[in-house]
């Protein structure tokens, strides 16, 4: 299998990590997030890992400060892509929220990068406004793939996604890879 890099996005609680975990059962997978270095800085400054609206806004704002200051999220992601190229991993999932950051990685990556939006639609989940540009504008991109997650039991959701991944995503990715 050719190496595949996939930017994964979706609102909080949509199932991005769950989807990554499904794939990691079948493929050698690495998962990173552009916010990882920002979280380290935030922890040093006193953030204790909570995911409330105030913390989500702080992380989003801090990320944008570092994008402006030295483009830390971009350089971190590019370094992780280089590491992925040298590894025996087959798939790299990259969590990125912001349209501009997605575009930078897609445009500047040394390998082809594809984009996947996880859209959760079910009776127990209501998308909401978080109050920050990172979370509130995840739909503001023309994704290569969109998977709609619903209230299916976990094993059914896994089966549905892996079928989507193997029969729709993989063939299109390989057809569009150098």
- End-to-end CA gap in the chain: 13
pLDDT at 178: 62
pLDDT digit string (tens) for 32-53? 999 999 999 999 999 999 989 9
pTM strictly above 0.85:
yes
Overall CATH class of domain 4-175: alpha beta
Beta carbons of 170 and 96 less than 8 angstroms apart:
no
Q: Mean pLDDT, 10 residues at a time, over the chain (178 residues)?
A: 92 91 98 98 96 94 97 98 97 97 97 95 71 90 94 89 97 86
Domain ranges of the chain: 4-175
Distance between CA atoms of residues 119 and 147, nearest Å: 6
């Amino acid at each position: 299998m050719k190496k595949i890099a996939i930017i994964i996005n979706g609102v909080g609680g949509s199932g991005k990590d769950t989807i990554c975990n499904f794939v990691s059962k079948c493929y050698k997978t690495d998962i990173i997030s552009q916010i990882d270095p920002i979280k380290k800085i935030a922890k040093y400054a006193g953030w204790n890992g909570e995911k409330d609206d105030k913390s989500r806004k702080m992380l989003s704002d801090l990320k944008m400060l570092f994008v402006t200051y030295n483009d830390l999220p971009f350089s971190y992601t590019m370094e992780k892509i280089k590491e992925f190229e040298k590894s025996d991993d087959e798939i790299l999932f990259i969590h990125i929220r912001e349209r501009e950051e997605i575009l930078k990685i897609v445009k500047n990556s040394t390998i082809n990068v594809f984009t996947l939006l996880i859209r959760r639609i079910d009776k127990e989940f209501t998308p909401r406004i978080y109050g920050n540009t990172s979370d509130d504008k995840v739909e503001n991109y023309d994704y290569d793939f969109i998977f709609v997650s619903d209230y299916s039991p976990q094993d059914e959701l896994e089966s549905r996604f892996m079928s989507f991944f193997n029969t729709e995503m993989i063939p299109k990715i390989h057809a569009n890879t150098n």
